[in-house]
Amino acid sequence: MSKGKMISSRVYQGNPAFNYLPDGDKYFLAGEKPKYKFNVIGTGIMGQEHIRVTMLEGRATVNGVFDPNEGSVAGAKAQFAQYSDDELKVHQSLEAAVMDPDVDGLIIATPNYTHIDLVKEAIKSGKHILLEKPIATNLQDAYTIYEIGEEYPAVFQIGLQYRYKPTYREVINQVKGGSGSAVGDIKSISILEHRIPFLDKVDQWNKFSEFSGDTLVEKCCHYFDLLNLFAGARPVDVYASGGQAVNFVGYEYDGKTSDILDNALVIVNYENGVRASFNLCMFAPFFYEELILCGDEGHLKAWEKEDFLPQSSAGTGIDINRGDSQPSLRITPNYPARIQATGHHGATFMEHIDFVNNIDGIETPTATALEGLWSIAVASAAQESIKTGQVVKINDHLAANNINI
């Protein structure tokens, strides 16, 4: 029996307080039976969140995992056990996980430098793919993956999930909705991220540009995706300044010395005249993000903050000021608590809703392989600018990497 359109009960489903109810007496609390099965490849902190979000979303389930690190597999099992009494299949090889005949989709959440080889292996299956960001550590590999994604016959979704954080999603609604932009035509964009350093990883791969692609690729591709999205045009040139001032200075692991940026200022100019900037500091004692959009009809400021203090001022907010032309707005965007808790480690509930919707053939605003490529194009141009001290022309940067798009 169809429920028709009802307020989502996912925030109640799975609540142990309702375990006393026989299954036959559950209607509002009864979730859809999973119709898809996924394998998660890479089960570190990001892969484990993909497991958690898959199970919470409910229309798919996790069938199996593959990760050569025993600790990561143990963590995956613990996450899965919170949602299911079934046994989680542990694959002994990448090939077995990719070609598993029981699954419909693959979620790839492995270290950045492995993406290119994993994608080449994963596409042999023809299964739906959710590939975590960044799509690759360099522009040439990103272009190869873009070409693969463009021709791939199944879903090929890129995990640029900041589009799904409640603050940014509501900003997108405000400026790209059907009723027009809340600030008119956007003329300038500013994004700031001040946060704690990178967390530890297995083999500490995220401390070395060789494996991560460096900070502007690894972490900040999310923000360059947002700049591109709000600008609504192709980037023309990039100028950046940055360096390694505090974090991991002199840190050595396996004979290598850490060389990743921990601060940067980036300016991007777009074909339609929009000017954008990005400000990064990775040695702040909290998490703070800020987006400012200035248009010809108003000003929008959005922020998220987590400061770890006992009397926390953490939270989200959007202020839209339109002077005396239209009402101004103050918004506090949030999801229900169980959903809001996702997204801190790489996977969001809303992103998974769209992954399943994409599989169902429903059009969604998920990031495409092309958008994933453009996020890397801006990031890699910024890092090239830091190295050379020069403005990097995007067309020249693409041509130098034998790319024509």
Q: How many CB atoms lie within 10 A of CB 277?
A: 17
Identify the pLDDT of residue 5.
57
- For the cut 70, the answer to whether the pLDDT of residue 323 exceeds it is yes
Q: Which tens digits make up the pLDDT trace of 93-125?
A: 999 999 999 999 999 999 999 999 999 999 999
Burial class (CB in 10 A: 0-12, 13-18, 19+), 156: buried
Domains of the chain by start residue, with CATH: 16-159 (3.40.50.720), 163-339+366-400 (3.30.360.10)
Section 211-231 average pLDDT: 97
* 6: its two tokens: 């009802």
Q: Give pLDDT tens digits for 4-54.
A: 555 566 667 766 678 798 988 988 887 778 999 999 999 999 999 999 999
- For residues 220-229, give the mean pLDDT: 97
Which residues, listed in sequence order, are joined to residue 90 by a DSSP beta bridge? 65
- Residue that the structure tokens 């300016």 belong to: 267
State if pTM tops 0.75: yes
* Model confidence band, residue 180 (pLDDT cutoffs 50, 70, 90): low
* Residue 198 scores a pLDDT above 70: yes
Residue 39, C-beta contacts closer than 8 angstroms, at least 6 positions apart: 62, 63, 64, 65, 66, 89, 91, 97, 98, 100, 103, 105, 106, 107
Torsion angle of alpha carbons 398, 401, 404, 405, nearest 10°? -50
Q: Which two tokens stand for residue 157?
A: 């979704």
Confidence class for position 300, pLDDT limits 50, 70, 90? very high
The pLDDT score that the predictor gives to residue 1 is: 45
**What pLDDT does 250 receive?**
96
238 phi and psi angles, rounded to 5 deg: -135, 135
